[in-house]
Amino acid sequence: MTNTIIWTVVILTVLGLVLSLVLFWIARKFKVEEDPRIDEIEKTLPGANCGGCGFAGCRAFADAAVKAGNLDANYCPVGGAEVMKKVAVILGCEVKETAPMVAVVRCNGTCDARPRINTYQGAQSCKVKAALYGGDTGCLFGCLGCGDCVAACQFGALSMDPVTGLPVVDESKCTACGKCVAACPKRIIELRAKGPRGMREFVSCINKDKGPAAKKACSSACIGCGICEKTCQHGAITVADNVAYIDFAKCKLCRECEALCPTGAIHGVGFPKPLDKEAVKKRVADRKAKAAEAAKAAEAAKAAEPVAVPVQPEVKKEENNG
């Protein structure tokens, strides 16, 4: 009995050693060499694994950056410019300067602006609500108010305002990861440039209905009147599908569009002083008056110019020798 136990132990020990050697050989034979820079970049990244860069996590981003050899198509919105500079040093390349971004809620349909026409009693999820019907109000484009964006944010940058019923973005916490953008079924949240010293202009509405219908559903809706587009001197505003949009790359922050918007759909954020609408309106009116006077003077000058009469060439008459 004792010998049987001893032989069993010996055999199992030898078998374990053999299998260990086999596994060791297989591991060495099929070992995949990994670039050590992947670990370096992963340690440099914030470690949020939020997916804002377009990859499943920070390690996937690091792997893609190493394989690409540059950062032309890769950017970590959470780490920002400082982190990307460190990553660029590891890769031995340069990184393009990217303007800091922030999430912006493009809906101004507060509880007062959008009259409620029905009551929803289902699951408190914007995704579920959007799949069932248009919402509690007459606006089919606005915020549904269930807070899917708040739940999606990993950084506590979003909260629901109980008074307005709309999400509020805490700029100091927002990393522009884009999770809230993806979570909103109505696509009312957009990533926009923070702007110089945090100043920016945007149209807080995406309602594509025609003016009267949009106004009826929400008193703060963009009605597509085009006043802002005609007023802008920088070509930053376009009106398409009955709603205006401001290109933040072209906007010069003059705030004229905000002052002249008849429904207050255009919002200015981060400006040090409140908007003096009357002063801005006077400035625009004076500019238009001067432009009209200049055009009138140009027409008068053109009318006063002498009209040049073309000179007819002389035709020599042939002598009649007959």
| 195-289 shares the fold of 36-91 | no
Give the pLDDT of residue 221: 96
- Distance from C-alpha of 68 to C-alpha of 211, rounded to nearest angstrom: 48
198, 269 contact by CB (below 8 A): yes
| Confidence at residue 243, expressed as pLDDT on a 0 to 100 scale | 97
**Block mean pLDDT (10 aa), the chain, length 322:** 78 86 78 79 87 85 86 84 88 83 95 89 91 89 95 94 95 92 96 94 96 94 96 96 96 96 95 94 94 90 74 59 47
Q: 99-192 has which CATH code?
A: 3.30.70.20
Q: For residue 180, give the nearest of 157, 161, 211 by alpha carbon.
A: 157
pLDDT for residue 134: 84
Residue 62: both structure tokens together: 């690091």
Q: Name the H helices within the chain.
A: 2-29, 36-44, 58-68, 80-91, 126-132, 148-152, 179-183, 211-217, 227-231, 256-260, 277-304
Predicted local confidence at residue 32, as pLDDT: 62
Choosing among 3.40.50.300, 3.40.50.261, 2.20.25.90, 1.10.15.40, the CATH entry for 36-91 is 1.10.15.40
Domain ranges of the chain: 36-91, 99-192, 195-289
pTM summary value:
0.77
CATH 3.30.70.20 fits 195-289, yes or no: yes
Q: If we measure between CA atoms, which residue out of 104, 100, 110 comes closest to residue 180?
A: 104
The structure tokens listed for 284 are 């625009």
Nearest CA to 256 out of 284, 290, 221, 230 is that of: 284
Kindly list the distances between the CA atom of residue 132 and the CA atoms of 5, 103, 109, 123, 206, in Å, as whole numbers in the listed order.
70, 27, 20, 11, 20
Q: What phi and psi, each to the nearest 5 degrees, are found at residue 280?
A: -65, -40
Helix (H) or strand (E) holding 268: strand 266-269
Both tokens of 275, joined, read: 């908007």
167's CB contacts (< 8 A; 6+ apart) are 105, 143, 147, 149, 150, 158, 159, 160, 161, 180, 189
